C-alpha cells in the first residue's frame, strides 16, 4: 500500500472512531475555572489592566462581583459592587459612586449559564439558593436573564470569557 493511501485510511479510521464515540465534530471550547471573589466583599474588585478612559468595553477574563445595569441588543452593561455594612440591617450592595466611570460592556453569550436566586418566573418568587453560599442554583434561560436584569439590577457573580458574559450567578440578599 502506498504511503499517501495509508495516511488517508488512518485519518478516515480516526474520524470514524471520533464520530462513533458521539463527540461533536466542533466541540465548544471549555471555559476555564476562575477563582471566585468573596461573595460579600467590602471593596470593589481591582482591574489594573483595564483602561476606563478608552470607552466602555469588556472586562478581562474572570469573575466579577457586580450587577448588570442595562441590556441593549444582546450587550450587557455592568458595574462592580461591594457589600456595605449597615447600622440597622445586615447590609446591602452598592455600586461605584455617581459619576465614576467604572463600567464594562460585554455581549451576553448565546449559551450563557444563568443561575437565579429567585426562580425563573417573576410571578412565583421562589428562593433557589445554595444553603451555605447565598448563590443562585436554579438554571433559567438567556431570555429570562436579559428581561430580569435589564429592568432591575441584581447583585451577581458575572463570569466573562473572551469578551462575552458566559455565566451569571445571582447573589441572594434579603
Specify the pLDDT at position 34: 93
Cβ contact 118:127 at 8 Å:
yes
pLDDT tier at 141, thresholds 50, 70, 90? very high
Give residue 161's pLDDT band: very low, low, confident or very high (50, 70, 90): very high
What proportion of the chain, given as a percentage, has pLDDT over 90?
51
- Whether the predicted pLDDT of 71 surpasses 70: yes
pLDDT of 89 strictly over 60: yes
CA distance 76 to 128: 24
Average pLDDT, the chain: 82
Confidence band, pLDDT 50/70/90 cuts, at residue 122: low
Comparing 25-29, 34-38, 85-89, 153-157, which segment has the lowest mean pLDDT? 25-29
pTM (2 decimals)? 0.79
Tell me the average pLDDT across 92-116.
92
Q: Tell me, rounded to whole angstroms, the distance of Cα 132 from its chain centroid.
A: 20
Is residue 61 pLDDT above 50, yes or no?
A: yes
C-alpha of 50 from chain center: 18
Q: Look at residue 84 in the predicted model and tell me its pLDDT.
A: 95
Work out the number of other CB atoms within 10 angstroms of the CB of residue 166. Answer: 17
93 forms beta bridges with 83
Q: What whole-number distance in Å separates Cα of residue 67 and Cα of residue 163?
A: 17
Q: Tell me the average pLDDT across 56-65.
A: 92
Mean pLDDT of 27-53: 84
Is the pLDDT assigned to residue 15 strictly greater than 70? no
Instruction: Work out the angle at residue 46's Cα, subtended by the Cα atoms of residues 55 and 170, and round it to the nearest 5 degrees.
Output: 90
Give the whole-angstrom CA distance, residue 145 versus residue 78. 13
Indicate the pLDDT class of residue 111, thresholds 50, 70 and 90: very high
Amino acid at each position: 500500500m502506498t504511503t499517501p493511501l495509508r495516511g488517508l485510511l488512518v485519518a478516515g479510521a480516526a474520524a470514524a472512531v471520533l464520530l462513533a464515540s458521539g463527540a461533536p465534530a466542533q466541540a465548544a471550547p471549555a471555559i476555564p475555572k476562575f477563582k471566585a471573589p468573596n461573595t460579600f466583599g467590602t471593596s470593589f474588585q481591582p482591574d489594573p489592566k483595564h483602561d476606563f478612559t478608552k470607552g466602555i468595553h469588556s472586562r478581562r477574563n474572570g469573575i466579577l462581583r457586580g450587577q448588570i445595569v442595562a441590556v441593549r441588543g444582546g450587550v450587557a452593561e455592568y458595574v462592580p459592587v461591594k457589600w456595605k455594612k449597615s447600622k440597622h440591617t445586615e447590609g446591602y450592595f452598592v455600586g461605584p459612586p455617581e459619576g465614576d466611570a467604572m463600567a464594562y460592556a460585554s455581549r451576553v453569550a448565546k449559551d450563557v449559564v444563568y443561575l437565579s436566586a429567585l426562580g425563573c418566573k417573576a410571578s412565583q418568587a421562589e428562593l433557589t439558593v445554595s444553603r451555605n453560599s447565598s448563590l443562585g442554583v436554579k438554571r433559567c434561560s438567556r431570555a429570562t436573564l436579559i428581561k430580569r436584569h435589564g429592568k432591575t439590577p441584581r447583585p451577581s457573580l458575572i463570569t466573562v470569557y473572551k469578551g462575552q458574559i458566559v455565566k451569571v450567578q445571582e447573589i441572594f440578599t434579603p
